[in-house]
Amino acid sequence: METLGIDIGGSAIKGTIVDTNTGKFLAEKFRIETSQPASIAETVETVKKLVDHFSWKGKIGCGFPAVVMNGIVKTASNIDKAFIGVNANDLFGQSTGCSVNVVNDADAAGFAELNFGTVKNFRGFAIFLTVGTGIGSAFFSKGKLIPNSELGHIYMKNGLKGEKYTSDAVRKKEDIDWVTWGKRFNEYLMYIEKLFYPELFIIGGGTSKRFDKFEKELTLQTPIVPASLLNDAGIIGAAMFA
């Protein structure tokens, strides 16, 4: 089935047409930079531009950087707080004229990995982390997704939220080298490890493409692997949820 998958991030919105039976892209990915954070109006306008770019009229799946329950946005960390309480399915559906299903972005990315990537045949307890503007998370148990976890907002012993200490946005803002950042990320992972004792960590988002630059700094006991779908997982998973 062909579906338009859209990944709404804290600094850009990207998407393309996806074959949900194979997870393959059927067109070149299209990306539009946005403000940080983008207003509701800017986000809606950007999504509409992306839909128009593909001349799309069918179903749309949107990964969104917030807890989303039955289409209703419940949180806002790296997006406009005015989104809280908004029915995102209706918002984007009305602006595009299409049937839209909005889900948490990390859940979407993790769902793609569960079906087409690293964890395809893994049936233990796995934690998927997407590291970018913030840190998103997704839990898997016995091959099933447990939605709307928010491990990026867990407070560490230093008093900071995980994503305020070791997101990729923090690395760029503070101009931290990969080794130093890797040590920070290791602190975060070890903290999560002691809270949940997963059998596997999967790292997605933009940093997954640079895994080799910080892998040596990771000393936790739990096996850890980069997501095989890299930064495309959110688009693929969003399309599947549609």
Average pLDDT over residues 131-151: 90
User: Is 77 domain-assigned?
Assistant: yes
Average pLDDT over residues 76-105: 93
Strand spans (E) along 41-181: 60-64, 68-69, 72-73, 100-104, 125-131, 135-141, 144-146
User: Is 217 domain-assigned?
Assistant: yes
Confidence of residue 138 (pLDDT cuts 50, 70, 90): very high
In this structure, are 130 and 41 located in the same domain? no
Q: SS3 of 138, please?
A: strand
User: Is 34 domain-assigned?
Assistant: yes
User: Is 18 domain-assigned?
Assistant: yes
What is the CATH classification number for the domain harbouring 144? 3.30.420.40
Q: Which domain holds residue 91?
A: 2-107+234-241
In this structure, are 126 and 103 located in the same domain? no
In this structure, are 99 and 153 located in the same domain? no
Q: How many helices (H) and strands (E) does the chain have?
A: 8, 13
Q: What is the pLDDT of residue 218?
A: 97
What residues have CB less than 8 Å from 230, skipping those under 6 apart?
204, 208, 209
In this structure, are 22 and 63 located in the same domain? yes
Q: Is the pLDDT of residue 63 over 80?
A: yes
In this structure, are 58 and 102 located in the same domain? yes
In this structure, are 160 and 193 located in the same domain? yes
In this structure, are 10 and 64 located in the same domain? yes
Confidence of residue 129 (pLDDT cuts 50, 70, 90): very high
In this structure, are 94 and 165 located in the same domain? no
Q: At what angle do helices 233-241 and 105-116 cross, to 10 degrees?
A: 90
User: How many folded domains does the chain comprise?
Assistant: 2
> What percent of the chain has pLDDT above 70?
100
Omega cis (within 30) before 37: yes
pTM of the full structure: 0.87
Q: What is the pLDDT of residue 100?
A: 97
Q: Is the pLDDT of residue 30 over 80?
A: yes
In this structure, are 128 and 97 located in the same domain? no
In this structure, are 80 and 58 located in the same domain? yes
Chain segment 208-234, per-residue pLDDT in tens: 889 999 999 999 999 999 999 988 999
Closest CA to 166 of 200, 125, 205, 134: 134
In this structure, are 100 and 138 located in the same domain? no
User: Is 74 domain-assigned?
Assistant: yes
Average pLDDT over residues 98-119: 91
> CA-CA-CA-CA torsion for 39, 45, 50, 54, nearest 10 degrees?
160
User: Is 116 domain-assigned?
Assistant: no
Chain segment 155-192, per-residue pLDDT in tens: 999 999 999 999 999 999 999 999 999 999 999 999 99
Q: What is the pLDDT of residue 170?
A: 94
